[in-house]
């Protein structure tokens, strides 16, 4: 049995390795910080409907409050409803700016009238009606009477002209003009902004536009832990922009992914980070994610009625979609090749079945030869008993284990014959799938291996009946090993039993017990760690058992 079993193991291992090589996907893509944040973003996108539902739930609560209040309380509810719809659904946001303005007029609240008209201009800008937005802002310019309103006015002006510069990027003269106006209103914001975080965000934006990337990075890092809500979104996005200018692609992806996660969790549907992330991933070759992110961005931009975002997405989407289709075609070809490989594997399994059949015949012949050898050994034993009485015990032991060996071989042959008969019956019945299933199953190997371990344990403990007791005396009392079944050894005991028999090569032990080399090293290290003696003295005492 010992001569045949290694061949059988190696063939099963070869089948397993071949199968894993063909069908196991590449798992080496993840593990670093970038893959971790992208996986987190994937999960966030899958939960997008839940975040939108939470957003709608808060809006529904405000809608209910709206039904039972009036006067300034109603005006404040309209303001909150606008804030809920802003950057989420621009049509509804525009409606509530109009309702807010009308209610502010009724309440004679000039400050809220300014807020309503400024927010209305911003919402029209989101919807792409820049002419109307700028016209309304022009009419507001001389009517603003509060510092807060003036600051909001400057923010919206800067935002609208920034969008116009992006919208006209193909027209250099217009774009330059809009960029100049963007710079003008950004400078105005810097003179009015008193909040340190918002001021730093605006200043970083200015530094980026002027090419002072390191200065912008320093500003943003200084407020990274203080920014919340919309400020955090701007901070993370600007950090991503900084990393793009510095050529740090991994950091760019990480910051844009964090921005997208922050946007989606807040229920924002008018954003730019996710589509810029999709472009970055497309350039890195991660086509699947780039396509999924671009589809998500397109869905949200359409839902929000954010015209500029939709146009920007429409420019790049066909390119990513084409690359995605190519990836799908390659995957289809890969599946076709996998089917061919599977068919080849099936043919190999059939060949192995034929091999096992002839191997069983060879084993029967080996059995007959072993029987003859056993008879000769019996005769030699009797002669040696007459010649030297001192060797009688040794010869009896040899006879016992030769018989044990023959019985083990006979049992193995009978098992192989039964296995062959089962396969033959299935083949005659035309059950090819059952044959393949039975050949794939490792149950037969596991049972044979367990019988082998049981036989080894029985044989070893028969010749070394006090091995477990003496071995435990070499270990710390609280770590001594008690086999669950007195007639068998644990894996640790089995390894050191082989060492006691003189098998000291780790590779041979691993081969003999069908364990991996790391497993053998782990078991040995664990025992040495709980031994009462240093490693060298421990192994010396082991050999004396």
pLDDT tens, residue by residue, 399-432: 666 666 667 777 777 777 787 787 788 888 878 8
Quick check: 21 pLDDT over 50?
A: no
Neighbours of 200 (CB within 10 A): 24
Predicted confidence at residue 36, as pLDDT, reads 93
Quick check: 155 pLDDT over 70?
A: yes
Predicted confidence at residue 171, as pLDDT, reads 81
CA distance 15 to 6: 14
Quick check: 46 pLDDT over 70?
A: yes
Of 305-309, 325-329, 511-515, minimum mean pLDDT range: 325-329
Sign of CA dihedral 40, 43, 48, 50: negative
Quick check: 24 pLDDT over 50?
A: no
Section 294-316 average pLDDT:
85
Give whichever of 71-80, 367-376, 477-486 has the largest mean pLDDT. 71-80
Smallest Cα–Cα separation from 496: which of 537, 545, 542, 449?
542
Confidence of residue 99 (pLDDT cuts 50, 70, 90): very high
Confidence of residue 396 (pLDDT cuts 50, 70, 90): low
Predicted confidence at residue 3, as pLDDT, reads 35
The per-residue pLDDT for range 192-211, each reduced to its tens digit, is 999 999 999 999 999 999 99
Confidence of residue 31 (pLDDT cuts 50, 70, 90): very low
Quick check: 18 pLDDT over 50?
A: no
Predicted confidence at residue 456, as pLDDT, reads 87
Section 103-122 average pLDDT:
93
Quick check: 7 pLDDT over 70?
A: no
Asked whether the beta carbons of 138 and 101 are under 8 A apart, the reply is no
Confidence of residue 82 (pLDDT cuts 50, 70, 90): very high
CA distance 187 to 189: 5
Quick check: 317 pLDDT over 50?
A: yes
Section 247-259 average pLDDT:
94
Section 108-126 average pLDDT:
93
CA distance 353 to 13: 15
**CA dist 91 → 13, 74, 126 (Å):** 64, 20, 10
Quick check: 62 pLDDT over 50?
A: yes
This prediction has a pTM of 0.56
CA distance 65 to 351: 77
Sign of CA dihedral 239, 245, 251, 256: positive
Confidence of residue 13 (pLDDT cuts 50, 70, 90): very low
Quick check: 389 pLDDT over 70?
A: no
Neighbours of 289 (CB within 10 A): 19
Confidence of residue 465 (pLDDT cuts 50, 70, 90): confident
**CA dist 226 → 251, 266, 315 (Å):** 20, 18, 36
Of 5-9, 389-393, 524-528, minimum mean pLDDT range: 5-9
Residues in contact with 220: Cβ distance below 8 Å, sequence separation at least 6, in sequence order:
200, 201, 204, 235, 238, 239, 242
Quick check: 394 pLDDT over 80?
A: no
CA distance 386 to 391: 10
Asked whether the beta carbons of 133 and 125 are under 8 A apart, the reply is yes
Section 527-541 average pLDDT:
92
Smallest Cα–Cα separation from 533: which of 467, 476, 479?
476
- In degrees, to the nearest 5, what angle opens at C-alpha 510 toward C-alphas 507 and 514? 140
Quick check: 5 pLDDT over 50?
A: no
Quick check: 2 pLDDT over 70?
A: no
């Amino acid at each position: 049995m010992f001569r045949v079993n290694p061949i059988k193991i190696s063939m099963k291992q070869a089948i397993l390795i071949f199968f894993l090589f063909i069908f196991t996907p590449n798992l080496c893509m993840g593990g670093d910080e970038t893959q971790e944040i992208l996986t987190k973003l994937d999960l966030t996108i899958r939960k997008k409907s839940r975040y939108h539902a939470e957003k709608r739930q808060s809006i529904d609560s405000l809608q209910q409050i709206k039904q039972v209040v009036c006067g300034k309380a109603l005006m404040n509810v309209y303001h909150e409803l606008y804030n809920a719809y802003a950057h989420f659904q621009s049509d509804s946001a525009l409606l509530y700016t109009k309702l807010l303005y009308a209610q502010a007029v009724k309440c004679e609240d000039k400050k809220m009238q300014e807020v309503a008209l400024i927010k209305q201009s911003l919402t029209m800008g989101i919807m792409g009606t820049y002419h109307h937005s700028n016209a309304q802002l022009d009419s507001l310019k001389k009517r603003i009477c509060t510092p807060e309103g003036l600051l909001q006015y400057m923010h919206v002006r800067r935002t609208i002209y920034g969008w116009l510069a992006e919208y006209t990027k193909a027209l250099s003269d217009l774009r330059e003009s809009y960029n100049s106006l963007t710079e003008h209103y950004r400078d105005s914001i810097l003179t009015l902004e008193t909040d340190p975080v918002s001021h730093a965000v605006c200043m970083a934006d200015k530094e980026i536009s002027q090419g002072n990337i390191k200065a912008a990075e320093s500003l943003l890092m200084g407020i990274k832990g203080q920014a919340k809500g919309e400020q955090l979104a701007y901070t993370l996005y600007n950090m991503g922009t900084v990393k793009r200018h510095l050529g740090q692609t991994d950091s760019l992806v990480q910051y844009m992914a964090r921005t997208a996660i922050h946007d989606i969790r807040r229920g924002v549907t008018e954003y730019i980070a996710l589509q810029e992330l999709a472009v970055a991933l497309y350039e890195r070759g991660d086509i699947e994610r780039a396509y999924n992110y671009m589809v998500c961005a397109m869905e949200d931009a359409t839902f929000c009625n954010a015209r500029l975002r939709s146009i920007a997405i429409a420019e790049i989407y066909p390119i990513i979609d084409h690359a995605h289709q190519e990836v799908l075609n390659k995957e289809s070809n890969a599946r076709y090749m996998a089917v061919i490989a599977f068919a080849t594997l099936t043919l190999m399994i059939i060949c192995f079945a034929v091999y096992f059949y002839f191997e069983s015949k060879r084993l029967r012949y080996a059995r007959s030869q072993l029987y003859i050898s056993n008879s000769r050994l019996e005769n030699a034993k009797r002669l040696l008993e007459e010649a030297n009485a001192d060797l009688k015990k040794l010869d009896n032991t040899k006879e016992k284990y030769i018989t044990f060996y023959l019985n083990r071989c006979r049992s193995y042959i009978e098992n192989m014959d039964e296995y062959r008969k089962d396969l033959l019956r299935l083949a005659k019945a035309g059950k090819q799938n059952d044959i393949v299933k039975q050949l794939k199953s490792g149950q037969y190997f596991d049972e044979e291996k367990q019988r082998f371990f049981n036989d080894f344990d029985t044989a070893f403990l028969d010749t070394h009946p006090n091995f477990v007791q003496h071995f435990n005396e070499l270990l710390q009392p609280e770590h001594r090993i008690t086999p669950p079944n007195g007639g068998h050894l644990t894996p640790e005991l089995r390894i050191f039993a082989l060492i006691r028999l003189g098998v000291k090569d780790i590779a041979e032990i691993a081969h003999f017990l069908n364990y991996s080399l790391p497993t053998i090293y782990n078991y040995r290290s664990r025992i040495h760690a709980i031994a009462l003696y240093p490693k060298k003295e421990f192994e010396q005492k082991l050999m004396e058992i």
